[in-house]
Amino acid sequence: MVEGLLGRKVGMTQIFNEAGKAIPVTVIQAGPCVVVQKKTVEKEGYSSVQLGLVEKRKGRFTKPAEGHFKKAGVPPTRHLTEFAFTESEEEQVNVGDQILVQNVFQPNDFVDVSGFTVGRGFQGVIKRHGFHGGKATHGSMFHRAPGSIGASAYPSRVMKGTKMPGRMGNKRRKIRNLEVVEIDGENNLLVVKGAVPGSRGSYVTISRALKGTSEKTESDE
């Protein structure tokens, strides 16, 4: 069984359950994906499959990359990700096979979704770290500055980890244990409860949750 898929974030909306309660959900275009490479315990020491996201738009590839896809006998794909794979007698996956969302996930499953957060560019300490700033009254010379960032005599340097202005966002984050609410196999859509990282159209990685509970935590990948 393949443990995940590649996809693109379509956007957020809401659905209503049987009790009439609104549930915020995220719609993800999950796949279809094609198997580009298969790794086995005998050869590589572990079992996994390398999946490529099938898209309409084509990209430019280096000669080594073109050779990698030519060896697999599949069209080149712009995004590749490796997922754990457990092969059984009932389910066998070969290079060139297409993996669909309904073959991997089912409603009420729990998944981990990772992607890059929305990039905010270079920001100051008030927006980036939530500093309160100084007084906004007339005559004040201290409004949005960070203030003192280190000692002069000892240790005579800025300590590592000091909160300062810099690039905000555009970091890889993973949201764990999101419940699968609905699956549209005809349109390759996966509907999960809650929000996932990234803006509309950004690429995400969906994998089977390790814990499989309704708890939701955030962590770096």
Residue-wise pLDDT for 6-39, tens only, equals 999 999 999 998 888 999 999 999 989 999 988 8
Q: How far is the C-alpha of 122 from the C-alpha of 104, rounded, in Å?
A: 39
Please check the confidence at residue 3 and state whether its pLDDT lies above 50: yes
In this predicted structure, what is the pLDDT of residue 162?
Answer: 92
H or E, element range at 67: helix 63-72
Please check the confidence at residue 125 and state whether its pLDDT lies above 50: yes
Enumerate the domain spans of the chain: 4-119+172-220, 122-168
Q: Which residue has the tokens 């935590």?
A: 217
Angle made by CA atoms 203, 176, 211, in degrees to the nearest 5: 135
Contact 133, 210 (CB under 8 A): no
For the residues 119-143, what does the mean pLDDT come to? 93
CA-based end-to-end distance of the chain:
22
pTM: 0.79
Which top CATH class is 4-119+172-220? mainly beta
Q: CA torsion sign, 183 to 184 to 188 to 193? A: negative
Closest to 52 (Cα-Cα) out of 71, 35, 40: 35
Please check the confidence at residue 214 and state whether its pLDDT lies above 80: no
Q: Which residue has the tokens 């990282």?
A: 197
Render the burial of 57-73: b for 16+ CB within 10 Å, e for the rest.
eeeeeeeeeeebbeebe
In this predicted structure, what is the pLDDT of residue 57?
Answer: 79
Tokens representing residue 115 in the block: 């992607």
In this predicted structure, what is the pLDDT of residue 92?
Answer: 77
Contact 93, 2 (CB under 8 A): yes
Please check the confidence at residue 148 and state whether its pLDDT lies above 90: no
Please check the confidence at residue 213 and state whether its pLDDT lies above 60: no
Please check the confidence at residue 165 and state whether its pLDDT lies above 90: yes
Return all residues near 81 (Cβ < 8 A) that are at least 6 apart: 4, 6, 50, 51, 205
Q: What band does 137 get if pLDDT is binned at 50, 70 and 90?
A: very high
What is the Cα 139 distance to its own chain's centre? 47
State pLDDT tens for residues 48-95: 889 999 888 777 888 998 898 888 888 888 889 898 887 765 567 888
